[in-house]
Amino acid sequence: MSVSEFEYRYNMTIKTFPSHAEPAFETPEQQDVVWGNRWGCDNDVGRLRKVLMHRPGDELDIIDPKMRLEHLGSYGDEAGQTWYWRGDIIPSKEEQQAQHDALSQALRDEDVEVVLLQRCAPGRHKSIYTRDSCIGVKGGAIVTRLGPIVRRGEEAPVTETLAAAGMPILRTIHGSGVMEGGSFVWLNSKTAVIGRS
């Protein structure tokens, strides 16, 4: 094939099968066809269809009730920065699991699909707070990068679980950026607020 023939065929292919920007990624038809589901959200009020959760497990074994931090009114590994627990009482793993199971069942009873983390990062006992590690936005998720060192590593299991569920990961907080989903709230479909501290 000559160069001119190749160029002709290439140009004809581009004309026959051009790129199309529309419909947009977030449109219901594109979400259904490409991703098999309408992912994300743009409000914090309304019908919950699917939720990411983590059942408390062996990662709680890192907590040592002898490591009281009286000046903070809590518990934690102040020197090693590996864990902390706010409050005066540390519920047992069994108590936490029972509460998780009851909440999960209540959600299922309301026809909410509960998606459980596939795994937990070792020692990351705060992984139960799955809202912190990702944010649902129209069309998919933003995976956050949590500020405290004791929470670093939660991002990987969340990313793996969302990807396995088929949810598009639209962005990740990276570099030296930090953000927690618990500080993000939709006020309405066009307005969100982000806490700074």
Strand 113-116 with 50-53, pairing? parallel
Going from the C-alpha of 185 to that of each of 42, 48, 60, 152, 181, the distances in angstroms are 9, 15, 28, 22, 8
Residues in the chain, pLDDT under 70: none
Domain boundaries, the chain: 23-59+92-194
CATH assignment of 23-59+92-194? 3.75.10.10
The pLDDT tens digits for 53-77 are 999 999 999 999 999 999 999 999 9
pTM, full prediction = 0.89
Q: Are 128 and 120 in contact (CB under 8 A)?
A: no
